[in-house]
Each structure stands twice: as structure tokens, then as C-alpha cells.
């Protein structure tokens, strides 16, 4: 039993030692790289393990690049990996760019990848342009007619501006702004309907892709719908506002007239009250004049006759007016 135990312990120890050596010095991976024509030393593989870099994540992309005739070193790939880059996408993008004769070096590809963009998709978009649909572009011509426009923008990625270039949303916004401006400068909506290509060509000539990560190849008007008559609506709104203003002024004048009439009535009542008050003082004044001798009885009778004659004349005048 003792000998068997020793042999078993030695076997387990050897197995553990072999596993450790194979982990830190991956000989199968070294053989794969050697036979693929990518010379890499065992010390390199050991160093990657010590730096906590999986050797297969470096060696396999390196072999792929070597087969595509792209000369790179393991140090370059390891540096990008340690910067938390995606080595596989970078190598795939370099291979695609090389096949399509697109100028793209490893440094720029790594910068694009670290900027958060999919460098492989960017290269594919350079080869196969992308169509962006922009809907609900609403513009109003000078005659007040509103137009709803849908356009299709054909773009391809601009590799040199992928780092720091504006995104797809900026292209949409700029094209929409350009379409609205061109419609707004048209004298009639009919001009836009008759020649939509002129609108799109003028917008294309504005250089709206400046500072973006794309190159605009074409802007095509897909559909135009006639919308509201904004001019007529504005005129109707203005007419209604003018009418309300006139009504308000008329009501103000009416209120002022009614107030003036009430004021005149109050003044007339005040004057009538004073007249009645004065008439009430007449008998007292007559009595005082008779008592003091300032007026004789004959004067009083003459005054009464004058009043009676005046009353009669007023009665005759009132009857004559009614007859008329």
C-alpha cells in the first residue's frame, strides 16, 4: 500500500505540475503559431500569462492578420487588449479594408474601436452605403401652404472622421433643416411639387456632412404631401382677433355713452330738484313782498293773470302739436 500511495502521489504531482506548465507556457498554442508562420517565443506566451492576458486572444487574431498579409506584432495586439479594445473586430476591419482597397491602418482602427464605434461595421458601410429614411419634415412655402416631406439619405462612413465625427442623428437634423429652409424660400408649394429634385440637389450642395462621420452621397425626395394652408389659417386668426378688438372697442364706447347718459340724468334730476326748491320759495317771497309793501295787490293779480295766460298758451300749444 505504501508503494502504491507514493506512486499515486507522484502521478498526481506530475499531473499538477504539467497542468501548471501548460497553463503558463501553452505549448500547443506555440506550435499552432509556429506552423502558421507566426514566430512567437515561449517567453512571450509566459509573459502574457503573467500580465493576465489570455495568449489565445492574441495569437489567433495575429495568425488571422498574418494570413491576410497584414503585418502586426503581438505587442501591438496586447497593447490594444490591455486598453480594453476588441482585437477581433479590429483585425476583421483591417482585413475588410485591405480587400476593398480602403486606406485604414492599425493605429486608426484601434482609435475608432476605443472611441466606441464598431470599426468593422464602419468599413462595411464604406463598401456598402447605408440608406437613412427621414420622415415628418414639415416646411411652409411663401404662399402659406404646408408640405410634409419624406427623404432618403444615402451615406457611407468616412473613415478619417469616425473619431470625433458627429453621428447619424446630426445628419438627419441637418438635412431636415435644409429641406425646411429650401421649402420656405419657394414662392409657391407648386414649385416644390413640380421640381422636388431641385430642392434635394440644393440641399446636397450645402455640404451638410461636414464634421460628421459620414459622407452624403445623395438626398432623394421619396414623398411629398400637401398639408394645411397655414397662410389662410393665420389670416382667419388675424381677422377673428381684429373682430374681437373692434367688439371690445364698441362695447367700451357703449359703456362710456351709457355712463354719460346716466351722468346727464343725474344732473337733470339735480337741476329739477333745485327748480322745485326754488318754486317752493316763490310763495314765501310773494307773501314777504306783500307784507313788506314791496308789491301791491294789483301787482299780485297782474302776476296771476300772466301765469294764467301762460298756462293757457301752453295748453293751446300742446293741443296744436297733438293735432298735427
pLDDT at 255: 84
Asked whether residue 1 carries a pLDDT value surpassing 60, the answer given is no
In whole angstroms, give the CA distance from residue 45 to residue 55.
Answer: 6
Q: Edge to edge, what strands does the sheet with 130-140 contain?
A: 130-140, 145-157, 214-229
Asked whether residue 118 carries a pLDDT value surpassing 70, the answer given is yes
Asked whether residue 109 carries a pLDDT value surpassing 80, the answer given is yes
pLDDT at 294: 64
CB atoms within 10 A of CB 145: 22
* DSSP type of residue 160: G
In whole angstroms, give the CA distance from residue 158 to residue 168.
Answer: 12
- Residue 21: pLDDT band with limits 50, 70, 90: low
In whole angstroms, give the CA distance from residue 53 to residue 26.
Answer: 13
pLDDT at 152: 92
pLDDT at 29: 80
- Of 301 and 241, more confident: 241
- pLDDT one-digit tens code per residue, 275-321: 777 767 667 766 666 667 666 656 666 666 766 777 777 677 655 54
In whole angstroms, give the CA distance from residue 55 to residue 33.
Answer: 11
Q: Which of 69, 108, 101 is nearest to 85 (CA)?
A: 108
In whole angstroms, give the CA distance from residue 97 to residue 99.
Answer: 5
Mean pLDDT, residues 256-285 taken together? 78
Asked whether residue 8 carries a pLDDT value surpassing 60, the answer given is no
- Residue 110: pLDDT band with limits 50, 70, 90: very high
H, E, C per residue of 172-228: HHHHHHHHHHHHHCCCCHHHHHHCHHHHHHHHHCCCCCCCECEEEEEEEEEEEEEEE
Lowest-confidence region among 190-204, 215-229, 235-249: 235-249
Asked whether residue 219 carries a pLDDT value surpassing 60, the answer given is yes
CA of 31: how far to CAs of 41, 42, 227, in Å? Answer: 10, 10, 71
Asked whether the beta carbons of 66 and 36 are under 8 A apart, the reply is yes
Asked whether the beta carbons of 122 and 145 are under 8 A apart, the reply is no
Amino acid at each position: 500500500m505504501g508503494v502504491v500511495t507514493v506512486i499515486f502521489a507522484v502521478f498526481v504531482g506530475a499531473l499538477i505540475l504539467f497542468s501548471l506548465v501548460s497553463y503558463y507556457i501553452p505549448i500547443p498554442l506555440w506550435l499552432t503559431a509556429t506552423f502558421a508562420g507566426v514566430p512567437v517565443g515561449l517567453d512571450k506566451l509566459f509573459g502574457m500569462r503573467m500580465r493576465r492576458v489570455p495568449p489565445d486572444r492574441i495569437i489567433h487574431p495575429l495568425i488571422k492578420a498574418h494570413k491576410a498579409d497584414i503585418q502586426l506584432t503581438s505587442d501591438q495586439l496586447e497593447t490594444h487588449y490591455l486598453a480594453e479594445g476588441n482585437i477581433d473586430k479590429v483585425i476583421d476591419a483591417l482585413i475588410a479594408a485591405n480587400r476593398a482597397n480602403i486606406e485604414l491602418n492599425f493605429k486608426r482602427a484601434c482609435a475608432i474601436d476605443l472611441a466606441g464605434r464598431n470599426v468593422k461595421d464602419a468599413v462595411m458601410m464604406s463598401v456598402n452605403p447605408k440608406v437613412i429614411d427621414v420622415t415628418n419634415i414639415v416646411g411652409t412655402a411663401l404662399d402659406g401652404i404646408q408640405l410634409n416631406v419624406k427623404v432618403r439619405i444615402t451615406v457611407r462612413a468616412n473613415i478619417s472622421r469616425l473619431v470625433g465625427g458627429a453621428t447619424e442623428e446630426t445628419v438627419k437634423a441637418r438635412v431636415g433643416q435644409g429641406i425646411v429652409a429650401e421649402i420656405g424660400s419657394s414662392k409657391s408649394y407648386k414649385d416644390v411639387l413640380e421640381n422636388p429634385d431641385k430642392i434635394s440637389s440644393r440641399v446636397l450642395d450645402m455640404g451638410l456632412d461636414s464634421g460628421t462621420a459620414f459622407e452624403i452621397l445623395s438626398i432623394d425626395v421619396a414623398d411629398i404631401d400637401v398639408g394645411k394652408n397655414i397662410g389662410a389659417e393665420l389670416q382667419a386668426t388675424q381677422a377673428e382677433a381684429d373682430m374681437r378688438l373692434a367688439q371690445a372697442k364698441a362695447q367700451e364706447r357703449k359703456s362710456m355713452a351709457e355712463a354719460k347718459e346716466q351722468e346727464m340724468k343725474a344732473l337733470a334730476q339735480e337741476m329739477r330738484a333745485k327748480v322745485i326748491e326754488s318754486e317752493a320759495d316763490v310763495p314765501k317771497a310773494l307773501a314777504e313782498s306783500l307784507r313788506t309793501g314791496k308789491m301791491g295787490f294789483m301787482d299780485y293779480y297782474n302776476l296771476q293773470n300772466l301765469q294764467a295766460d301762460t298756462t293757457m298758451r301752453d295748453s293751446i300749444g300742446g293741443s296744436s302739436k297733438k293735432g298735427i
